[in-house]
Amino acid sequence: MLKDKRILLVIGGGIAAYKSLELIRRLRERGARVRTILTRAGQEFITPLSVGAIAGEKPYIELFDLQAEFDIGHIRLARDTDIVVVAPATADLMAKMAGGHADDLASTVLLATDKPVLIAPAMNPHMWSQAATRRNRTQLEADGIAFIGPSAGEMAESGEAGIGRMAEPLDIVAAIETALARPHAGLPLSGRRILVTSGPTHEPIDPVRYIANRSSGKQGHAIAAAAARAGADVTLVSGPTSLPDPAGLKTIKVSTAREMLAAVEKALPVDAAIFAAAVADWGVAAPGAQKMKKGAAGAPSLSLSLVENPDILATIAKRRAGRPRLVVGFAAETEKVIEHARDKLTRKGCDWIVANDVSPGTGVMGGDRNSVHLITAKGVESWPVQSKDEVAQALIARIASALAGVAT
């Protein structure tokens, strides 16, 4: 698969740089042509001579190198390749990429490239879990950068354990193959089918009245739009909202929870399903065929008998045949957000839960901003407060990585 592929490998300054030499060997064994950029910090760990000897050509080092500029030039270096791989990607390189810096050859090439970029982070576990690095990671994922690793284990330099070890060379090779195999590489969800539910449902009491909730549909619609922008074939099943139908995807409008379930089942099979709708938990047992009249029952009160609606998320997550590879639920909570969300993850059988606090003071319901926690089998990640569009973009980037089989 890698025969005759052109790979530009950026080697950052970390102790894991020694593994990059083996990565180059593995890639060349498979017939790939490997060009290298060795950062100044990278040279503290491995030498240009060893990189050049193993790659079969000298590494590029300086941005303002007259000879190198005559030979190829940094813009061509960025583009005359099938993929750019950064291994090891240090916290500093990630920060530069996220901020769009271009103050050395590596960062300039990463900013100038029009090819897919895969990064293999390697750093101390504390650096990896710092808020700044987490922010950069979320940003890079939203920008379409693919990740491999880091994995858990002991650090080479300090013996400290935790997440931060660079992925093994053969795993990086596999991630490169996956990234290159993606149809129309460049758009992270090209060739994927994605289903999104959004908005409230309306449960009729009689022909003119209904039970509803405060969901605006903004978050679900933003997710569907972000998936379409990322190249997916998207079906949005939406309850009643005042939002326009997003461009570039199919919107199916429904009213009740039962109608939503039917539309969702009809849209299968999909690669990933995201259940952002605020589905009414109960519907009226016997909605009136005619408008109900005041005082008709002879008393100034009215009792409605409610029956539980089908749980759409749980129904799809627990399907034996045709279950989407990734099922993502939402948990709108007003207290003990993470605890309740974890419980929902197991109860409903989904893979991830996006949990948010929708207490009245937060302004999330109907508002434009959202503060979410992503709950997976691996643990909880708390994302910074962002616009609903930013949350959508970050979630879609994460889903794209998961579907591509890249460690998330």
- Residue numbers at the binding site for ligand CTP (CB under 6 A): 197, 257, 275, 277, 279, 281, 309, 311-313, 329-332, 344
Contact residues for 327 (Cβ-Cβ < 8 A; gap 6+): 272, 273, 275, 313, 316, 317, 349, 350, 351, 352
For residue 328, the minimal CB distance to ligand CTP (Å) is: 8
- Residue among 188 and 200 whose Cβ is closer to ligand CTP: 200
- Residue among 331 and 394 whose Cβ is closer to ligand CTP: 331
For residue 309, the minimal CB distance to ligand CTP (Å) is: 5
For residue 332, the minimal CB distance to ligand CTP (Å) is: 5
For residue 317, the minimal CB distance to ligand CTP (Å) is: 9
- Residue among 61 and 264 whose Cβ is closer to ligand CTP: 264
**Is-catalytic flag, 213?**
yes
Q: Of all helices (H) and strands (E), which one includes residue 23? A: helix 17-29
For residue 231, the minimal CB distance to ligand CTP (Å) is: 24
239 with 290: CB under 8 angstroms? no
For residue 277, the minimal CB distance to ligand CTP (Å) is: 5
Angle (CA) 106 109 113, round 5°:
145
Active-site choice (124, 213, 356, 370): 213
The alpha-carbon radius of gyration of the chain (Å, integer) is 25
96 with 20: CB under 8 angstroms? no
User: Largest Cα–Cα distance of the chain, in whole Å?
Assistant: 96
DSSP 300-313: S-----EEEPP-HH
Residue reference for tokens 């089918």: 193
Assigned token pair, 39: 């950062």
36 forms beta bridges with 9
For residue 69, the minimal CB distance to ligand CTP (Å) is: 54
φ, ψ of residue 343 to 5 degrees: the values are -60, -40
- Residue among 55 and 264 whose Cβ is closer to ligand CTP: 264
Distance, CA of 98 to CA of 406 (rounded, Å): 19
- Residue among 38 and 279 whose Cβ is closer to ligand CTP: 279
Distance, CA of 342 to CA of 353 (rounded, Å): 8
- Residue among 40 and 347 whose Cβ is closer to ligand CTP: 347
44 with 11: CB under 8 angstroms? no
For residue 267, the minimal CB distance to ligand CTP (Å) is: 14
To the nearest 10°, the Cα dihedral for 317, 219, 203, 347? Answer: 30
Distance, CA of 274 to CA of 220 (rounded, Å): 8
Strands 386-387 and 369-370, bridge-based pairing: antiparallel
5 with 34: CB under 8 angstroms? no
Contact residues for 209 (Cβ-Cβ < 8 A; gap 6+): 291, 292
What secondary structure letter does DSSP report for 230? T
Cα dihedral sign for 252, 258, 261, 263?
Answer: negative
- Residue among 31 and 322 whose Cβ is closer to ligand CTP: 322
Listed residue (125, 115, 114) closest to 7, CA to CA? 115
- Residue among 144 and 200 whose Cβ is closer to ligand CTP: 200
Question: Catalytic residue numbers?
Answer: 213
